[in-house]
Structure 1
């Protein structure tokens, strides 16, 4: 079913009998988050409250800002840019209603996606691996290929969301959970593993220098928007998912498995 999430009345009617509402949407344009997210988030929050449903929101790590250590659920919320501020505001609004007893809210936080279901929105899968597997040049728009980074498998996101959407344990709500995520690896490590899996040459990966991204930002809106998150790729950016793994007995899918599934999906799209 296609629905304009910003249409509060239509959304409310759709979820009126729901026991759980899962907010896993994103605005169509990455460069318009500050304008487009607030009304969408408000509509979903209101619809969940009116239905008496749990609200499970799929989020990211932007709200933590420029961290210097592995991120846990206790890492302070300290956004350093507008997109992180939007995410922080969304969680604050949901948490306020949770604490007031108006609904049960929980947030699921993931690092950058990797997997067959998120190719169109994945930096590593869609922007890097897809062209490389076709023998083309790919561009890393920011950062370093030797910086350790956590990549979250989209299937592991779904597994945690499904568990929380059915949970009757009150202590599971009113807080955030980090999606079970494999140990961090560098982009160079990923390419080595892809090469081993495919046993065929890849295209060339080029890293755009910071000065290029900065200079083109005013005329290429997407590059300008990426400046807020470039720290995530210039130094270690590590997600600690110990809490969710221990609480729900979920283990992250091994990276080799994730890469094999992602590669298969890319080839399927090329056929």
Structure 2
């Protein structure tokens, strides 16, 4: 539909209401708002197929209805814009769903080419380390979300080429860059960690994440969202994979860390909402943000609440002896990579998200809702 047809159809004389006629003068603020509201209504009704007719639908130029035309441009532009999400894990998939539900076109890129079933989400199977291919996939996009995650035991070798390909694609397309990260780059910190905490990594994986952030800051328009330990459906954290299933099954748990120190727990959907919120705020760029934590409970407290909600037996938790942990590290490459990060489970690790909540407007999901989802989606081992 052309702009001329939109204007001609919407500038007809107003309908007569019962009892009296309400006159609307052309060109007035009320008239422009009336037209903008109707165009917005039509836009929502056509959302499912609108992106395929973007070029033909509107080409707005300066006009006596200046403010109105700007509004139409924003309405149509918001619906028509393309976002690229790299990584189809739990967080990347959640980001894609959130964007699509708000009317954005989403291109979800992963090795497997999987995606939620939604008319505005396009699944693409591609190796994200192929900078040329990724650049082609990012052409025309206003933002690229990095939700990728190489295998935990291959970060030093697999992250650098992937990070470089992502940066190259963003540089060549001028897309905004929104990175998902963690707290490894901070190193060991005493007390709650504010979002202004300087980067000071003390581990190999911490230096990998820190370098990714510093490289991006010097080359593109970027913001980074940092999460704690993950909870929720599909969460790939030590607790979600190795503790929750045993607690729900009523089996003993040997935990490689201190059971009674505070930890920040990040719900997957809250991580996605923080990424999307950061992408929509100009003041978010050039800075890092913390996902508001659903809880700062200890592992013991969290497990007791999980068992209580599931009506499971009281958790039987013990601290894993160092000898047992070392044997596990010798036989499991993923577990071996947790050795240098033991301070995260042995010491308190709490994120302060005050600035995120105040400036981005993101609030944490209540813990019981997160644990209820965890109960519903966790597979428990057989006795």
Q: Tell me if TM exceeds 0.5.
A: yes
CA contact (8 A) 2:245 2:380 kept: no
CA contact (8 A) 1:153 1:253 kept: yes
Query: Does residue 117 of the first structure (1) align with residue 223 of the second (2)?
Result: no
Q: Could you say if the C-alpha distance between residues 115 and 212 of structure 1 is closer, same or farther in structure 2, counting changes exceeding 3 Å?
A: same
CA distance in 2, matches of 1:269, 1:50: 48
* Greater shift in the superposed pair: 199-208 or 253-262: 199-208
2:378 counterpart SS class? helix
CA contact (8 A) 2:307 2:315 kept: no
1:217 counterpart SS class? helix
Greater RCO (CA < 8 Å, at least 6 residues apart): 1
CA distance in 1, matches of 2:199, 2:221: 21
RMSD value, Cα: 2.0
Matched positions, count:
259
CA contact (8 A) 1:134 1:203 kept: no
Query: Does residue 259 of the first structure (1) align with residue 371 of the second (2)?
Result: yes
User: What corresponds to 2:345 in structure 1?
Assistant: 233
1:108 counterpart SS class? strand
Query: Does residue 64 of the first structure (1) align with residue 179 of the second (2)?
Result: no
How far did residue 268 of structure 1 move?
10
How far did residue 222 of structure 1 move?
2.4
User: What corresponds to 1:2 in structure 2?
Assistant: 125
CA distance in 1, matches of 2:241, 2:153: 18
How far did residue 131 of structure 1 move?
3.0
How far did residue 215 of structure 1 move?
5.2
Length-normalised TM-score, structure 2: 0.64
CA contact (8 A) 2:246 2:380 kept: no
* Greater shift in the superposed pair: 79-88 or 214-223: 214-223
How far did residue 182 of structure 1 move?
3.1
CA distance in 1, matches of 2:324, 2:378: 29
Note the alpha carbon deviations across 1:4-29, whole angstroms, 9 max, x for none: 111111111111111100001110x2
1:196 counterpart SS class? helix
1:243 counterpart SS class? helix
Query: Of 192, 209, 221, which aligns to 1:104?
Result: 221
User: What corresponds to 1:164 in structure 2?
Assistant: 278
* Long gaps (5+) in structure 2: 1-123
CA distance in 1, matches of 2:136, 2:157: 25
How far did residue 50 of structure 1 move?
1.0
1:19 counterpart SS class? strand
CA contact (8 A) 2:253 2:318 kept: yes
CA contact (8 A) 1:24 1:58 kept: yes
How far did residue 218 of structure 1 move?
4.3
How far did residue 267 of structure 1 move?
5.5
CA contact (8 A) 2:262 2:348 kept: yes
Q: Write the mapping of 1:30-45 to structure 2, written as runs, cut at 5 A.
A: 30-45=152-167
Query: Does residue 144 of the first structure (1) align with residue 258 of the second (2)?
Result: yes
How far did residue 112 of structure 1 move?
1.0
CA contact (8 A) 1:6 1:43 kept: yes
User: What corresponds to 1:126 in structure 2?
Assistant: 241
Q: Could you say if the C-alpha distance between residues 264 and 216 of structure 1 is closer, same or farther in structure 2, counting changes exceeding 3 Å?
A: closer
